[in-house]
């Protein structure tokens, strides 16, 4: 297990483990929507969802805690904000906040979701209950809204920065799930909810954060240019932030990558929980560019990662029809991406204009023929 330096232990960890009296039991309020409630779980009530599993994991670690499941299916953050005062009136030591996926389904902005969650955290703090924020788990590719997780990821960006600015604890469930292989095929009951194995993973993520065990490598946010962006000027400034809310980012081993190669980016930060990267290329960029990073944290031993953050198209680049992933080549990856979209129409949640090659509002056999005509060809 990878443990944290004592000096970097979070307030949540200290509040949870401090024992004011022999036999004292900590009360943890797990507040959220259907994912907290445990929809999709095969366990019987009241053991559904991550809260009961979290209590068991804490008990195994020697922490006496009652984890109360306060999940309400279908709830938005605005509704949760209205419900929260009554929930807080019962008292507690920690408030675990994981909510917002229903807001994404209703096209509520990531900034509004983060604002509502921050207000919930403020209400808890006023009552002496420490808030712990959690990013949303990704939704599956069959979800009718946000199937590519563009909005869900941006909510994660906002919450990573909120936790940094407020000095709060963060459970980065989005990172944990997206970095798990075959996550949708193995760990989901439907496009939105985990199955029993998925709830095991979610509970583990909460337990590790509360116990100060760091298994999550640094995560990025506020990436510019955006993934999939076209017409990017050749000398545009490239930027992103790296966060590590437990042990911190190791600034001596954090590098911006362009097409897999390190570049001399400017790195600025006053604390290891967040590093800002900026780079303006001396030589103009061309064609399709992959922006990424290589980093590790300060845990012992460190968590390491190399990850692509965005693939964007420089202005003046001509791409082949059928190059859905915009990597300069029409190949099997484009065909797989196209297959997911086949049969959808404009207005469907599954529809993506990148697959509508003839721009007629429907992704069908005519589009497939256009892709097939360029299959195996490269633009540059």
Helix, strand, coil proportions of the chain in percent (round to 5)? 35, 25, 45
CA 161 – CA 152 distance, rounded (Å): 15
State both tokens at 101: 């996926």
**Closest by Cα among 224, 214, 267 to 245:** 214
Note the pLDDT of residue 5: 40
CA dihedral 321, 349, 156, 324 (to 10 degrees): -10
pTM of the model: 0.88
Q: 68-77, 265-274, 313-322: which range is least confident on average?
A: 265-274
Backbone angles phi, psi at 257, to 5 degrees: -120, 140
Give me the chain's average pLDDT, please. Answer: 92
Instruction: Give me the mean pLDDT over the 334-346 stretch.
Output: 93
pLDDT score for 20: 47
Q: State CA 257 to chain mean position distance.
A: 21
Angle at 351 between CA 339 and CA 307, to 5 degrees: 70
CA gap 371, 342 in Å, rounded:
12
pLDDT at 7: 36
Enter the tokens of residue 320.
Answer: 């082949």
Among candidate residues 113, 50, 38, the one with its CA nearest the CA of residue 76: 113
The structure tokens listed for 51 are 């809260």
Is the pLDDT at 267 greater than 50, yes or no? yes
Nearest in space to 35 (alpha carbons), one of 177, 163, 221, 131? 177
Assess whether pLDDT exceeds 60 at residue 102: yes
């Amino acid at each position: 297990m990878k443990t944290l330096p004592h000096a970097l232990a979070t307030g949540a960890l200290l509040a949870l483990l401090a024992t004011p009296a022999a036999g004292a039991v900590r009360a943890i309020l797990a507040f959220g929507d259907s994912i907290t409630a445990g929809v999709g779980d095969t366990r019987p009530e009241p053991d559904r969802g991550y809260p009961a599993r979290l209590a068991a994991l804490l008990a195994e670690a020697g922490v006496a805690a009652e984890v109360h499941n306060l999940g309400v299916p279908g709830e938005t953050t605005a509704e949760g904000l209205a419900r929260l005062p009554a929930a807080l009136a019962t008292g507690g030591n920690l408030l675990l906040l994981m909510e917002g996926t229903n807001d994404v389904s209703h096209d509520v902005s990531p900034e509004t979701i983060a604002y509502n969650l921050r207000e919930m955290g403020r209400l808890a703090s006023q009552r002496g209950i420490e808030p712990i924020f959690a990013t949303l788990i990704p939704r599956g590719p069959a979800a009718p809204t946000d199937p590519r997780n563009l909005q869900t990821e941006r909510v994660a960006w906002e919450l990573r920065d909120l936790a940094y600015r407020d000095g709060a604890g963060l459970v980065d469930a989005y990172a944990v799930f997206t970095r798990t292989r075959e996550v949708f095929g193995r760990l989901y009951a439907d496009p939105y909810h985990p199955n029993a194995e998925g709830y095991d993973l979610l509970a583990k993520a909460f337990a590790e954060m509360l116990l100060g065990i760091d298994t999550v490598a640094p995560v990025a946010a506020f990436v510019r240019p955006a993934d999939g962006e076209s017409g990017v000027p050749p000398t545009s400034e490239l930027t992103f932030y790296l966060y590590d809310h437990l042990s911190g980012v190791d600034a001596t081993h954090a590098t911006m990558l362009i097409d897999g190669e390190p570049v001399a980016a400017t790195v600025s930060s006053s604390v290891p929980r967040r590093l800002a990267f900026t780079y303006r290329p001396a030589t103009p960029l061309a064609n399709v560019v992959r922006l990424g990073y290589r980093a590790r944290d300060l845990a012992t031993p460190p968590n390491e990662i190399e990850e692509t953050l965005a693939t964007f198209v420089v202005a003046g680049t001509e791409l082949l029809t059928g190059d859905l992933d915009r990597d300069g080549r029409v190949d099997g990856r484009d065909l797989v991406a196209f297959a997911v979209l086949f049969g959808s129409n404009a207005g469907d949640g599954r529809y993506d204009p990148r697959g509508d090659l003839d721009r007629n509002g429907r992704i069908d056999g005519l589009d497939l023929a256009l892709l097939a005509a360029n299959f195996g060809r490269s633009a540059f």
